[in-house]
A and B are shown apart, each in its own frame.
Chain A
Amino acid sequence: EPEVTQTPSHQVTQMGQEVILRCVPISNHLYFYWYRQILGQKVEFLVSFYNNEISEKSEIFDDQFSVERPDGSNFTLKIRSTKLEDSAMYFCASSLRQGSGANVLTFGAGSRLTVL
């Protein structure tokens, strides 16, 4: 069964450092997303991406965050200058379409980011 692959599975970084989390969505999917879950809290929507641009973002997704699809297969989340509060599990997801109840998101296993 097709799956969404995320790397790294766990990254530890120092506060202020840049981090890039990588995702390989399902190959024929067109829509891409990042969610995150801070330990003990809910999974939260960060951003959706389609046709090489952000289609929607949450208030969490500030100027420190960026996404891109550099090569047609990878989908990356960059955090420019990490803060302690960025420590979380980051989930990538993809879907074939949007706006249809018949369509669902496929999630990756997550990348755990620890900021020291």
Chain B
Amino acid sequence: AQSVTQLGSHVSVSEGALVLLRCNYSSSVPPYLFWYVQYPNQGLQLLLKYTTGATLVKGINGFEAEFKKSETSFHLTKPSAHMSDAAEYFCAVTRGGSNYKLTFGKGTLLTVNP
């Protein structure tokens, strides 16, 4: 069985500040890990994913995440927040080779203050 824990249902940062959204997972097999973003009234959009290979993954809009197996973490970061980053962010895991049956975290709402 797999699970995802996102620490903090709501994170608030100032524009220009570092964004750090935390995600820890549990999986009995090598995982595939994903971050999705949902803007108001829009679908879940893939930000980035880790499957195999390089553990530091770069995504769209300047976001990146690092897979740390020893810490079972896949935290999402962005060096400098922009107002347009305000959205809900979901971390998800699936077992390797089965990228459709995603197990999601509860989501983290990011607000960016001017």
Binding partners A and B: yes
B42, B90, B100: the one contacting A98 at CB < 8 Å is B100
Q: Are A43 and B96 within 8 A (Cβ)?
A: no
Complex CA gap A45/B94 in Å reads: 11
* B17 contacts the other chain (CB 8 A): no
**A75 is an interface residue with CB less than 8 A from chain B:** no
**Interface stretch of the complex, out of A11-19, A64-72, A78-86, A100-108:** A100-108
- A101's partner among B41, B99, B104, B107 (CB-CB below 8 A) is B99
Q: How far is the CB of B66 from chain A (nearest CB, A)?
A: 17
Q: Which single member of A4, A42, A101 contacts B43 (CB below 8 Å)?
A: A4
* Smallest CB gap from A58: residue in B: B101
User: Are B96's CB and A101's CB within 8 A?
Assistant: yes
Cα distance A106–B41 in the bound complex, in angstroms: 15
Q: Which residues on B sit within 8 Å (CB–CB) of A108?
A: 43
Partner of B49, one of A43, A48, A104, A110: A104
Chain B residues near A4 (CB-CB < 8 A): 43
Structural contact, B41 and A109, CB atoms closer than 8 A: yes
Size bin of chain B's contact surface: 20 to 34
Q: How far is the CA of A105 from the CA of B90 in the complex (A)?
A: 14
How many interface residues does chain A have, given as a range? Answer: 20 to 34
Asked if B97 is an interface residue, CB under 8 A from chain A, the answer is: yes
Across the interface, name the chain A residue whose C-beta is closest to B106: A42
**In the bound complex, how far is the Cα of B4 from the Cα of A41, in angstroms?**
12
Q: Is A41 within 8 A of B100, CB to CB? A: no
Q: How far is the CB of B40 from chain A (nearest CB, A)?
A: 10
Beta-carbon contact of A110 and B43 below 8 Å: yes
B49 nearest CB neighbor, chain A only: A104
| B99 contacts across to A, CB distance below 8 A | 95, 98-101, 103-105
Q: What is the chain B residue whose CB lies nearest that of A32?
A: B100
What 15 new A-B contacts, CB under 8 Å, besides A31-B100, A93-B44, A101-B52?
Answer: A42-B107, A43-B92, A44-B104, A45-B102, A98-B99, A99-B97, A99-B98, A100-B99, A104-B34, A104-B49, A105-B99, A105-B102, A106-B43, A108-B43, A110-B43
A residues lining the B interface (CB < 8 Å):
3-4, 6, 9, 31, 33, 35, 40-45, 48, 56, 91, 93, 95, 98-110
